[in-house]
Chains A and B, each alone.
Chain A
């Protein structure tokens, strides 16, 4: 009943060579992405920025949801908290972007610590507890005068214009690169092995002396800090943020969907899934605006029903042939 059983891949610990292969893949991906602005116009550059954010979000979700097997349905909260911390720091406090990004990560990480008691739950109950937590946070942020906006009647935050499109392109690409590399190192470390053991059988893992709660907490905070920092950088890029665009439930769903579509529990999966899904999404937006939600839903149902192992399992099957 584990994800490995779903994808049909034999579970194995990642040896050093696998880490190296993943790093090579990431380096190649970043290299190609870095020269793309020379060939693309502003529209496609924007599309790629959204794609990078999506990939980084899905990769961070994958650490707790895919590798550790605790499907969080509240990860959008960390992204939103990052974006709102950035708004508070940059607009209320007049701090530079670097401080806002670090502050966003810190705030999301601290908030993730409040989620730790939820680890008493598993499966459906964990998923729905985290979902309820996200909805509760969104409700408070939406109505609290401190977070609503500068003026009493504001429903969101307007950022000052602080950088060109190229600046944000390389900022997001840099954050994505750091995020992916840190995930490779985390999964190759003791924490990564512990998380895989917890996913396979938590009782056995605990009985051989793995402090499961501590490692789950590390995974959760890790996978919350990155969305926090991304959200903090995303706010100024988007210029206007409100609960509708940074606390939206589709942000959480996108993370999960991209991870599943690419291959849950793998490093490369979310990258592939993010690229392919963003292209499909873009085509749907551009051509069938009215039916966009419908296409999105159909895609979810089709992927899960017929393709639960994701792209990575298809590639593995094809290579084994």
Chain B
């Protein structure tokens, strides 16, 4: 019981980190990006490939995250910009198609196998808390994820770009009227989404096996986290991540065979009873 809570909580931070971009894109562009999971798995797969080429892990992770960020920019400019103001159906099917294409290319280029990296951390490999054993790497990932949340929140709060992003999120029409270049903000938001998701993927590489075909599971997870936590805030996504982390661990621990059904059932229940999320700030996007 205690271990489910503790590990769920620790993993929750990195789950939330994987979902920040999803929340931003849903808030600012008003779309559900079904290619989101691709950023995460691609971040992991690229980090693994670069690390095997001999690069230090941190450099490999940063290059991978920048690649996925660039990919986000390209996807937005070339594809989503064409259809994002049409019926939501179009964006859903289009981004799912993009997800298939990229994950297939990753399968062909990098191989379909699952990858897991053993990360050696200087100092103690395992920390004992009472009768619980926590790998130090889990704590480091937790700290990085929290720091990244703080960084992102500060970026949105204090910089000119962050103010423009929040303006687009709150009222797109008014933001355009006061002269904000909304297409540019959309593109940068997608880039930021790719960057954060890719970095989360690089961290996840050391926690659980990852392969290109798992992208859709991550997309669904990100959506769940954003829905549980509520749209529109980094702290909401963070709380959503913690709740989802515990839920995920509990579901697989207590009802392993029907864990996906439990998780999807929770998603439907939250969507029906509290579509603005448990801690939602504003109104819901109901395009």
Contact = CB atoms under 8 A, between A and B. Distances in A.
A254 to B, nearest CB: 11
A121 B275 contact: yes
Interface string B93-120: 1101111110011001000000000000
A124 B287 contact: yes
Contacts of A132: 220, 264-265, 267-268, 271
A125 B286 contact: yes
B107 to A, nearest CB: 8
A297 B104 CA distance: 9
Contacts of B82: 305-306
Given A133-B264, A304-B94, A308-B86, A293 B104 contact: yes
Interface stretch (B11-19, B128-136, B189-197, B253-261): B253-261
A6 B87 contact: yes
A294 B104 contact: yes
B258 A143 contact: yes
A135 B264 contact: yes
A298 B93 contact: no
B101 A298 contact: yes
B32 A136 contact: no
B272 A117 contact: yes
A43 to B, nearest CB: 26
B93 A257 contact: yes
A305 B83 contact: yes
Contacts of A1: 85-87, 287
B87 A129 contact: no
Interface string A277-321: 000000000000001011011111100111010000000000000
Interface string A125-141: 10111011101110110
A65 B89 contact: yes
B88 interface: yes
A126 B257 CA distance: 26
B86 A136 contact: no
Most buried by A among B78, B223, B268: B268
B275 A125 contact: yes
Interface string B67-101: 00000000000110011011111101110111111
A3 interface: yes
B87 A3 contact: yes
Contacts of B92: 71, 73, 124, 127
A63 B61 CA distance: 47
Contact of B94 (A5, A136, A296, A305): A305
A69 interface: yes
Contact of B90 (A117, A137, A299, A304): A304
Nearest to A132: B264
A6 B268 CA distance: 30
Contacts of B93: 253, 256-257, 260, 300, 304
Contact of B261 (A2, A136, A249, A257): A136
B268 A129 contact: yes
Contacts of B258: 139-140, 143
B260 A135 contact: yes
Contacts of B257: 143
Contacts of B167: none
Most buried by A among B88, B98, B105: B88
A306 B88 CA distance: 16
B284 interface: yes
B105 A301 contact: no
Given A121-B275, A293-B104, A301 B264 contact: no
A120 interface: yes
B164 interface: no
B105 A294 contact: yes
Interface in A234-258: 249, 253, 256-257
A1 B30 CA distance: 14
A13 interface: no
A189 B184 CA distance: 47
Most buried by B among A118, A121, A132: A132
20 contacts: A6-B87, A71-B88, A71-B89, A125-B286, A128-B267, A129-B272, A132-B268, A133-B268, A135-B260, A139-B261, A143-B257, A253-B93, A253-B96, A291-B108, A297-B104, A300-B100, A304-B83, A304-B94, A306-B82, A308-B90
